């Protein structure tokens, strides 16, 4: 189990990490999610021992890591740009950590074959890393990090540079691999879909601090504050006055599933809306775009509030049409 | 629960060794000898006295040497710039068959040993030469040899920038009504000024410290400060005056270097902004074709003929041709040892010098490339000093300093150490950029995969910088083969190197000795060309840093 306590890192004037606490339990897949510059990569580098913290402590199973050099920590790290050794073959790259661990030559060969199998590159041993596609390089980097059976695997935006289809497939494969092999994983990304699809638990970072943590469902259903809600792409954030389970807004009353009362900010998730004659909110469709499984609509209410929504029913109203909208109380989040 | 481990400081010892060994080497074999020269110039005759320095100001022969050094260096620099400028233009602006071969070929004179160049021009400009005029012991022979030597410096430095100048600037000037000459003077020349200044400083520095060429071609008529130091030491045994001359020369060289680096600093940002445009095109029309082939023809003739005459002269037997001169190398004759032995000596010394220069140079390069700090920047400058200091000063310094604590002056290892000292800056300059280009990520990846720092260096850095080490080794080998200034002081009479043996043979009367000198020079030329060609195979890109 990894325990990070009170970790602070400063680069000159700038504070990259500000008193961060974090734990990764054995066998867990933890995703650290945040925009660029939020300190996620610094966090990984400190845990890997590539960057010295200004203060705070790191421990594995109760043993301090602060004075353990990178090469003695036993963690695996997959770099964002892969950092494959250009002067070695695929097998030479994957075998590197095994040789450092003094594994005998014949066992190294076996292990390299096994790990290349896991990542879907059987028989790639003698290829030169310079001639691989982006996806193949990504898999070799993963195999190299996995080969020495690290006690924890860390991945820094591992699929960031791949195209969308490849990325989605790989995220699924990665989760399958980590769960099946019981690999303790710390995964850093700026992409919420990747984090939601892969992780058991998510830590959201903002400006070097932890903004929220929880399971993907918890984070999705109850973003902790307005910043997290906006970062997750929830842009319907409005003022309301709540009395007895009903929120009074500038575009009418909205039922909510919360016992809060008084003045609050509300987040209405884009999946909350349905077009219905019985709907209480009226508005005019301003934009309409097809997104595959659903349509993305922007509706303007008479009071001038713009609401973004995902509609998957038929027929889909056209631009300029006036619609009545019903709002699912379970998809409305009351912020503190 | 949480246990505190004992703090470890990896890398401390490694860093100490990286600093201590090259610093100790430079300290004992460079700084200490140079300090001793200063000491002998001030305390040479017992107590403290400026008499050696005042002798320079008073004695006409010494004042003359300083004056000659300055004006011949200026004249050589101007002559080289003017004579090589057309070739710089042709190489920058035109595409022609065999261009990369021509470019490599014009670099060969630059790396030839001074003794070989001296010998070649003795044959070329002597009474038996193809021109039929005797220019030996005239300033013309010295100037021609200096232009021959530094032709490539101007072509590659000025031509390198010229190739990156946007030709549309010149076209714009032409459209505004400027003629060809006017365009060159008002547009191209000002834009080329940084490269011209760079080339001029390098040529000035090399000709300022010219030794072998002046010694062989100038006779007793002409001497540079460098030659005068040697003469005062070996002929007149006046060590204080030699020391004072060396100090004067050091001050001169340092001021040139400082002025030049100041100039470069002011210029560097401006230069980076220029776009790299591929501007070379095949010559169009009779005018351009004539220019390109005329310049190439001149270049080939100018650079090729002395070497061809040298090789031809080594094969001349009476009125015919034969290998007699080469066959006679095995016999001692009037020499102390058979000239052929010098080949073995030189090869052995060159191997030893290469090993020393690689070890010390790689450690120093590692310190400069990996530990970016005030110490390493300071170290960077310190390491370049032997290059700026003349070879004669190094040899002279060894002679006056290395008798304490143990007398090393007659130790055979001293020769390769002096050569290594001259070669180390080249090794460092070749390796540092490559070391810096190894991405930090790769080292981090190695560390995370369990490799301790030493292992990371061996498994990741070393394979990636290996080629640059080979290039550095080639340079060190070629430098050691041709080194004459320092060796002339410290080579033992019974163990001469090739340049020393050639110089001795040239100093003796008789056609047989002259033929032997030509034969040995041809062999040395072949060996040097071979090691330079070996370098070219491993080289990536242009010869940028001298």
Q: Which of B3, B449, B456 sits opposite A97 (nearest CB)?
A: B449
Report yes or no: A66 at the B interface, CB cutoff 8 Å. yes
A8 and A63 fall within a common domain: yes
CB A273 within 8 A of CB A311: yes
Domain termination residue (choose one: A230, A248, A280): A230
What token pair was written down for B500? 């020393």
CB A273 within 8 A of CB A333: no
Q: Which residue of B has its CA nearest to A96?
A: B449
B17 and B66 fall within a common domain: no
Residue that the structure tokens 């610094």 belong to: A42
pLDDT recorded at residue B405: 66
B255 and B324 fall within a common domain: no
**Torsion over CA: B73, B79, B83, B86 (sign):** positive
A222 and A245 fall within a common domain: no
Distance from the Cα of residue B106 to its chain's centroid? 15
Report yes or no: A128 at the B interface, CB cutoff 8 Å. no
Chain B nearest C-alpha distance from A212 (Å) = 26
Total domain count, chain B = 2
Residue to test with chain A: of B13, B441, B445, most A Cβ within 10 A: B445
- Which helix (H) or strand (E) is B359 found in, with range? helix B339-370
A63 CB neighbours in chain B (<8 A) are 2-3, 5
B442 CB neighbours in chain A (<8 A) are 83, 85-86
pLDDT recorded at residue B335: 63
Query: Is B4 in Cβ contact with A69 (below 8 Å)?
Result: no
Residue to test with chain B: of A85, A93, A141, most B Cβ within 10 A: A85
Chain B nearest C-alpha distance from A248 (Å) = 52
Chain A nearest C-alpha distance from B373 (Å) = 17
CATH of residue A323's domain is: 2.40.50.140
Domain termination residue (choose one: A188, A208, A230): A230
A197 and A249 fall within a common domain: no
pLDDT recorded at residue B541: 43
A239 and A222 fall within a common domain: no
Q: Which residues constitute the domain of residue A38? A: 2-230
B234 and B208 fall within a common domain: yes
Tens digit of pLDDT for each residue in B152-206?
A: 889 988 888 888 777 767 766 666 667 677 778 877 888 888 888 888 988 998 8
Query: Is B464 in Cβ contact with A87 (below 8 Å)?
Result: yes
Query: Is A74 in Cβ contact with B444 (below 8 Å)?
Result: no
Q: Which residues 129-168 on chain A approach chain B with CB closer than 8 angstroms?
A: 144-145, 148
Report yes or no: B269 at the A interface, CB cutoff 8 Å. no
B305 and B383 fall within a common domain: no
Query: Is A64 in Cβ contact with B4 (below 8 Å)?
Result: yes
Report yes or no: A79 at the B interface, CB cutoff 8 Å. yes
Nearest residue to B447 via CA among A60, A72, A58, A68: A72
A53 and A143 fall within a common domain: yes
More confident residue, A150 or B198: A150
Is there a domain that residue B171 lies in?
A: yes
pLDDT recorded at residue A143: 93
pLDDT for residue B6 is more than 60: no
Query: Is A85 in Cβ contact with B447 (below 8 Å)?
Result: no
Backbone dihedral region of A241: left (phi > 0), alpha (psi from -120 to 50 degrees) or beta? Answer: beta
The whole-angstrom separation of Cα B385 and Cα B520 is: 32
Chain A nearest C-alpha distance from B441 (Å) = 6
Report yes or no: B3 at the A interface, CB cutoff 8 Å. yes
The whole-angstrom separation of Cα B192 and Cα B525 is: 33
CB B415 within 8 A of CB B491: yes
Q: Which residue of A has its CA nearest to B455?
A: A100
The whole-angstrom separation of Cα B516 and Cα B502 is: 8
Tens digit of pLDDT for each residue in A90-136?
A: 999 999 989 888 999 999 999 999 999 999 899 999 999 888 988 89
CB A202 within 8 A of CB A24: no
pLDDT for residue A253 is more than 50: yes
A66 and A160 fall within a common domain: yes
Tens digit of pLDDT for each residue in A294-328?
A: 899 999 998 888 999 998 888 888 999 999 999 99
Q: B64-68, B121-125, B269-273: lowest mean pLDDT where?
A: B269-273
Q: Which residues 404-443 on chain B approach chain A with CB closer than 8 angstroms?
A: 439, 441-442
pLDDT recorded at residue B537: 66
pLDDT for residue A83 is more than 50: yes
Chain A nearest C-alpha distance from B462 (Å) = 10
CATH of residue A67's domain is: 3.40.50.300
Is there a domain that residue B6 lies in?
A: no
Query: Is A83 in Cβ contact with B450 (below 8 Å)?
Result: no
A175 and A250 fall within a common domain: no
What token pair was written down for A222? 């109850």
B133 and B158 fall within a common domain: yes
A48 CB neighbours in chain B (<8 A) are 444, 448
Total domain count, chain A = 2
B7 CB neighbours in chain A (<8 A) are 67
A85 CB neighbours in chain B (<8 A) are 442, 445-446, 460
Q: Which of A64, A100, A148 sits opposite B3 (nearest CB)?
A: A64
DSSP B271-293: HHTS------B---HHHHHHHHH
B40 and B59 fall within a common domain: no
pLDDT recorded at residue B413: 87
B310 and B325 fall within a common domain: no
B338, B340, B342, B347 alpha-carbon torsion, rounded to 10°: -150
Nearest residue to B250 via CA among B55, B364, B357, B387: B387
Q: What percent of chain A has pLDDT over 90?
A: 56
Q: Which residue of B has its CA nearest to A4?
A: B2
pLDDT for residue B9 is more than 70: no
Strands A201-206 and A29-33: parallel
A184 and A242 fall within a common domain: no
CB B137 within 8 A of CB B218: yes
pLDDT recorded at residue B545: 37
A191 and A323 fall within a common domain: no
Chain B nearest C-alpha distance from A221 (Å) = 36
CATH of residue B40's domain is: 1.10.3720.10
Residues A126-157, buried b or exposed e (16+ Cβ, 10 A)?
eeebeebeebbbbbbbbbbbbbbebbbbbbbb
B32 and B84 fall within a common domain: no
pLDDT recorded at residue B269: 43
Sequence-distant (6+) residues with CB within 8 A of A212 are A203, A204, A219, A223, A224, A225, A228
User: Rounded mean pLDDT of chain B?
Assistant: 82
A208 and A68 fall within a common domain: yes
A185 and A260 fall within a common domain: no
Mean pLDDT over residues B133-145, rounded?
A: 88
- Which helix (H) or strand (E) is B538 found in, with range? helix B511-538
A97 CB neighbours in chain B (<8 A) are 449-450
B335 and B233 fall within a common domain: no
A162 and A290 fall within a common domain: no
Query: Is B447 in Cβ contact with A69 (below 8 Å)?
Result: yes
Domain termination residue (choose one: A230, A263, A290): A230
Chain A nearest C-alpha distance from B531 (Å) = 26
A90: number of Cβ within 10 Å: 26
Mean pLDDT over residues B266-274, rounded?
A: 46
Report yes or no: B13 at the A interface, CB cutoff 8 Å. no
Report yes or no: B12 at the A interface, CB cutoff 8 Å. no
Report yes or no: A292 at the B interface, CB cutoff 8 Å. no
A73 CB neighbours in chain B (<8 A) are 448
Confidence of residue B8 (pLDDT cuts 50, 70, 90): very low
A74 CB neighbours in chain B (<8 A) are 450
Query: Is B7 in Cβ contact with A70 (below 8 Å)?
Result: no
Sequence-distant (6+) residues with CB within 8 A of A231 are A34, A35, A192, A204, A206, A211
Residue that the structure tokens 């052929």 belong to: B340
More confident residue, A141 or B534: A141
Chain A nearest C-alpha distance from B454 (Å) = 11
Residue to test with chain A: of B449, B452, B461, B465, most A Cβ within 10 A: B449
Q: A4-13, A300-309, B5-14, B331-340: lowest mean pLDDT where?
A: B5-14
pLDDT recorded at residue B457: 84
B172 and B297 fall within a common domain: yes
B343 and B275 fall within a common domain: no
How many H-runs (helices) and E-runs (strands) does chain B carry?
A: 25, 2
Residue to test with chain B: of A3, A48, A67, A70, most B Cβ within 10 A: A70
Query: In chain A, helix, strand, coil percent, each to 5?
Result: 30, 35, 35
Report yes or no: B59 at the A interface, CB cutoff 8 Å. no
B304 and B328 fall within a common domain: no
What's phi and psi for B500, nearest 5 deg? -65, -45
Domain termination residue (choose one: B269, B294, B314): B314
pLDDT for residue B311 is more than 50: yes
pLDDT for residue B298 is more than 70: yes
Mean pLDDT over residues B333-359, rounded?
A: 87
Tens digit of pLDDT for each residue in B323-344?
A: 777 887 777 666 667 888 889 9
Q: Which residues constitute the domain of residue B89? A: 54-279+286-314
């Amino acid at each position: 189990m990894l325990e990070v306590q009170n970790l602070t890192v400063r680069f000159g004037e700038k504070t990259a990490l500000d008193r961060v606490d974090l734990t990764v339990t054995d066998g867990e897949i933890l995703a650290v999610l945040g925009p660029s510059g939020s300190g996620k990569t610094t966090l990984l580098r400190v845990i890997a021992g590539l960057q010295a913290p200004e203060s705070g402590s790191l421990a594995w199973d109760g043993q301090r890591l602060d004075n353990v050099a990178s090469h003695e920590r036993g963690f695996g790290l997959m770099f964002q740009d892969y950092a494959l050794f250009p002067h070695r073959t695929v097998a030479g790259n994957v075998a590197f950590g095994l040789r450092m661990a003094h594994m005998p030559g014949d066992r190294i060969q076996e292990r390299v074959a096994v790990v290349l199998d896991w990542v879907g590159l059987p028989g790639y041993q003698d290829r030169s890393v310079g001639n691989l596609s982006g996806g193949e390089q990504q898999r070799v980097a993963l195999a190299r990090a996995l080969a020495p059976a690290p006690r924890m695997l860390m991945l820094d935006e591992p699929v960031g540079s791949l195209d969308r289809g490849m990325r989605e497939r790989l995220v699924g494969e990665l989760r399958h691999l980590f769960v099946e092999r019981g690999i303790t994983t710390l995964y850093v990304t700026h992409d919420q879909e990747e984090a939601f699809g892969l992780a058991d638990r998510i830590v959201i970072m903002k400006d070097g601090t932890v903004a929220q943590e929880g399971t993907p469902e918890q984070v999705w259903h109850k973003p902790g504050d307005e910043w997290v809600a906006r970062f997750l792409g929830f842009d319907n954030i409005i003022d309301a006055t709540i009395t007895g389970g009903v929120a009074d807004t500038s575009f009418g009353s909205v039922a909510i599933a919360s016992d809060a009362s008084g003045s609050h900010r509300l987040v209405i998730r884009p999946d909350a809306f349905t077009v219905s004659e019985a709907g209480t909110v009226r508005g005019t469709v301003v934009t309409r775009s097809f997104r595959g499984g659903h349509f993305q609509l922007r509706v303007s209410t008479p009071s001038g509030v713009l609401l973004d929504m995902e509609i998957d029913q038929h027929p889909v109203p056209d631009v300029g049409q006036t619609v009545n909208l019903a709002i699912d109380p379970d998809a409305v989040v009351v912020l503190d | 629960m949480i246990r505190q481990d004992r703090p470890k400081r990896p890398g401390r010892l490694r860093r100490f060794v990286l600093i201590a060994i090259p610093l100790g080497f430079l300290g004992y074999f460079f700084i200490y000898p140079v300090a001793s020269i200063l000491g002998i110039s001030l305390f040479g005759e017992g107590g403290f006295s400026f008499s050696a320095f005042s002798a320079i100001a008073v004695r006409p022969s010494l004042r003359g040497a300083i004056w000659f050094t300055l004006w011949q260096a200026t004249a050589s620099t101007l002559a080289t710039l003017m004579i090589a400028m057309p070739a710089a233009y042709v190489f920058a602006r035109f595409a022609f068959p065999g261009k990369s071969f021509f470019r490599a070929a014009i670099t060969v004179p630059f790396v030839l040993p001074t003794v070989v160049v001296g010998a070649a021009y003795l044959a070329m400009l002597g009474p038996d030469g193809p021109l039929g005029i005797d220019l030996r012991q005239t300033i013309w022979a010295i100037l021609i040899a200096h232009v021959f030597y530094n032709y490539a410096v101007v072509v590659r430095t000025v031509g390198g920038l010229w190739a990156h100048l946007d030709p549309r600037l010149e076209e714009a000037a032409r459209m505004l009504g400027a003629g060809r000459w006017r365009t060159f003077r008002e547009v191209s020349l000002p834009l080329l000024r940084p490269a011209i200044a760079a080339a001029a400083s390098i040529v000035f520095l090399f000709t300022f410290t010219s030794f072998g060429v002046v010694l062989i071609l100038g006779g007793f008529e002409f001497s540079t400060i460098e030659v005068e130091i040697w003469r005062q030491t070996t002929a007149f045994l006046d060590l204080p005056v030699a020391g004072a001359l060396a100090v004067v020369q050091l001050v001169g060289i340092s001021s040139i270097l400082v002025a030049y680096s100041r100039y470069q600093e002011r210029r560097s940002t401006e230069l980076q902004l220029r776009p790299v445009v591929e501007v070379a095109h095949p010559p169009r029309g009779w005018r351009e074709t004539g220019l390109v082939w005329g310049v190439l023809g001149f270049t080939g003739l100018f650079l090729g003929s002395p070497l061809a005459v040298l090789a031809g002269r080594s094969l001349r037997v009476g009125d015919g041709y034969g290998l007699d001169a080469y066959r006679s190398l095995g016999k001692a004759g009037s020499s102390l040892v058979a000239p052929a032995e010098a080949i073995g000596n030189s090869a052995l010394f060159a191997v030893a010098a290469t090993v020393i220069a690689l070890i010390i140079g790689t450690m120093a390069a590692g310190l400069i490339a990996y530990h970016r700090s005030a110490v390493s920047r300071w170290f960077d400058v310190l390491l370049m000093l032997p290059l700026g200091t003349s070879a004669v000063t190094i040899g002279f310094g060894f002679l006056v300093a290395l008798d304490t604590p143990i007398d090393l002056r007659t130790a055979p290892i001293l020769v390769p150490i002096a050569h290594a000292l001259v070669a180390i800056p080249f090794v460092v300059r070749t390796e540092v950029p490559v070391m810096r280009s190894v991405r930090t990520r790769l080292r981090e990846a190695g560390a995370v995969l369990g490799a301790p720092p030493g292992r990371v260096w061996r498994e990741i850095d070393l394979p990636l910088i290996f080629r640059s080490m080979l290039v550095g080794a080639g340079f060190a080998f070629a430098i050691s083969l041709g080194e004459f200034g320092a060796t002339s002081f410290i080579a033992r009479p019974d163990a001469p190197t090739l340049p020393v043996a050639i110089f001795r043979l040239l100093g003796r009367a008789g056609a047989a000795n002259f033929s032997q000198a030509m034969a040995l020079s041809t062999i040395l030329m072949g060996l040097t060309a071979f090691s330079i060609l070996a370098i070219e195979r491993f080289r990536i890109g242009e010869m940028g840093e001298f």
